Structure 1
Amino acid sequence: MRQLVKTHLNVSDTAPVEWATKGGNILYTAQIPIREDGSIETGGIAAQAQVTLDNLRRTVEAAGGTMDDVTQVLVYLPHKSDFAGMNEVYKTFFNKPYPNRATVVADLMVEGARIEIVAYAHIGG
């Protein structure tokens, strides 16, 4: 059964999505560089990665876990040139052994976003 994870982020009144859900002990979440007030961070990749990964950390904690519970991360970037800057920020959020990760260059749906992250975490049990 799918359960809502209450996060610090506002939920859209128009989009049929949630910031995070759990199924059993697995957390499913997608994060973008959105601030608590709903605005998008418009800085460079380092600033956007910082906001996005902080959102991920806070969401994992809201689900009862830590970043050490994150098992897989999918990173989407619209610009291949942002990879190194994203990686510099990314490595400050995780300990070894790092989560399994794929990084894909793709168009993103949110105007101005330079990063989107999908993550899975095994929490408890």
Structure 2
Amino acid sequence: MKTASNFDLLLARVLYRRIHNAKYYDAKYCHVHYYYANFFRVKYYNADYCHANYYNADYYHAHYYYANYCHADYYHARYCHANYYNANYYHARHTFRRSCSSYCDGFLSISRGLANEVTLVK
């Protein structure tokens, strides 16, 4: 059986170190990639989560304002409706008073005219 020469041993040691170092660096490389992958995955999910929350916040914000807007419109419509009826009511009362007063004035003038005629006849 042939024994290994010093050169063979040296070569084996160098190759072993190279393989060992390569495995070590590969392991570190994979480790780093694993952490980067996790980091980016977490960032991606966080980004998605924040994005979703941002849209949800906008959606609820919009709904809140929309609800307030509709609420305001509802009350505004009721207020205008009430004002419209109030205006009509006062308008009707005013018109009624005017027509009534003109009617009463006409009636009084006729009454006065009749009274004058009766006085003249006497």
Query: Where on the TM-score scale, by shorter chain, does this alignment land: which range?
Result: under 0.3
Higher strand share: 1
Higher helix share: 2
Q: Which has the higher contact order (CA 8 A, sep 6+)?
A: 1
TM-score of the two chains, using structure 2 as the length reference: 0.17
Which structure's CA Rg is the greater one? 2
TM-score of the two chains, using structure 1 as the length reference: 0.17
